[in-house]
Amino acid sequence: MSAEPGSSPTPGPAPARRRTPWGRELAAFCAVALLVLLAVSAGTVWLSERIAQDNALEEAEGGAERLGELLVAPVLTEALAGVPGRWEELDRIVQHRMNDGSVIRMVVWRATGEIVYSSDPGQRGRTIAPSDGLVAAVGGATVSEVDDRPETTPAGGPQTLLEVYTPLTAAGEQLVFEAYFSYDGIDRQAARLRGRIIPMAIGALVVLQLVQVPIAASLARRVRRQEAERTALVQRNVEASERERRAIAADVHDGPVQDLAGVSYALSALRNSVPAERQPTVDKLVGAVRHAVQSLRRLMVDIYPPDLSGPGLSVAIADAAEPLRAAGVEVLMDAAPLPGTAPDATAVLYRTAKEALANVAHHARAKRTWITLEETELRGAPAVRLEIADDGVGFPASTDKRREGHLGLSLLRDRVVDLGGTVTLGDRPGGGAMLTVVLPLHHGQ
């Protein structure tokens, strides 16, 4: 046996192709859509959280800049210039602004870390090592950071604050204004923004999925109808091909075969009436005619296979091995009685055996071939096992000849798999090649 396929096997009834119910495919589509929806929703929640927090921080930074420029800087300039009563006025203005609870504390720093002004009078005049935020603000940037332990935490106040540092100019001196915001307030602001973004984004995704499901269901039904129509069309083509091949086989049988058989009988009857020296020529003519009849009979079998039901399968496989016997190859066949097998399964088994035996004849250079046909099990269900082995040259490195136009074994493998069976190509112990096909007795088991 060789892996290089010969011609494709005789056309026959197309095996029923296993189809996945469209409802299962629709369910898979919906499941994937739901997983995508959950993944996108999780990403949307995370992204909206970041957007909301960033937006809240930007608003806090903008609020600190406005507080420093519009509220603190004018009065602080006068206070640093020595205008009487301006420090008290600054305290009054700052305390009034802090009464709503949005700002916890206000501090004005020098670049050295000295506190010029603080809403907590006890902190004024202190010098603390400059933080990274203070240094950045001295450089002209407005920065914010969440601090669990701020330098000037009020007693009994919130432990987590949002510190915003922004540049401030007062009395011609470059200072830094720092505002402490309650992080809970920032979190609430972010939650409000998040509450607006998430329903809109996820709601749009849900609506999109709800729109897609009816469309997918409609497409699935359409695919199912088209599959049914295609199957019906293929079945009609197969039936038409069967009728045409049956008619051709009948014409060959009733025409050339009968005519040539008559010629053979006539030549045999004429043999004794010709001179002795001409009788060997007559014998050659009779042999040639009989060989032509046998060739036509084999052609009829190729065009329209014999009855494969019951013991007909083993008989047909044995007949398919006749060319091997004629070529001097010993054929050993072990065929056990098989129970009722589906017609499409028997057709595939016959064509597989015929293709494999043709490969043995054409490529294997074998002296002996073994054919085994027996009952077995596949996935716990009754099945039939066909094995064809030879002692020839074995398989080449690659058994895929589709690029060269040879589709015999590839088509047979596809047909077996479509019927739920398995195909194994391998080396025979002791040398040669071996093909094993295991096929369920009834498709769908």
CATH 3.40.50.970 fits 28-188, yes or no: no
Residue 278 CB neighbours (<10 A): 12
Nearest to 208 by CA among 14, 33, 12, 58: 33
4-15 pLDDT per residue, tens: 433 333 344 344
Average pLDDT over residues 371-397: 87
| 322: exposed, middle or buried (Cβ count in 10 Å: 0-12, 13-18, 19+) | middle
Determine the pLDDT at residue 306: 63
CA-CA distance, 138 to 111, in Å (whole number)? 6
Let me know: does 84 contact 161? Beta carbons within 8 Å: no
Q: In what order do the strands lie in the sheet with 161-170?
A: 115-118, 103-109, 173-182, 161-170, 143-147
Determine the pLDDT at residue 13: 39
**pLDDT band, very low/low/confident/very high, at 400 (cuts 50, 70, 90):** low
Assigned CATH topology for domain 306-445? Heat Shock Protein 90 (3.30.565)
Check whether 2 has a pLDDT greater than 50. no
243-271 pLDDT per residue, tens: 887 788 778 878 888 888 888 888 888 88
User: CB-based contacts of 217: which residues, under 8 Å, 6+ apart?
Assistant: 26
Give residue limits of the domains in the chain.
28-188, 306-445
57-89 pLDDT per residue, tens: 888 888 889 998 888 999 999 988 888 989 999
Looking at the chain, how many residues does it have? 445
Determine the pLDDT at residue 409: 67
Task: Encode burial over 284-302: b for 16+ CB neighbours within 10 A, e otherwise.
Answer: ebbeebbebbeebeeebbe
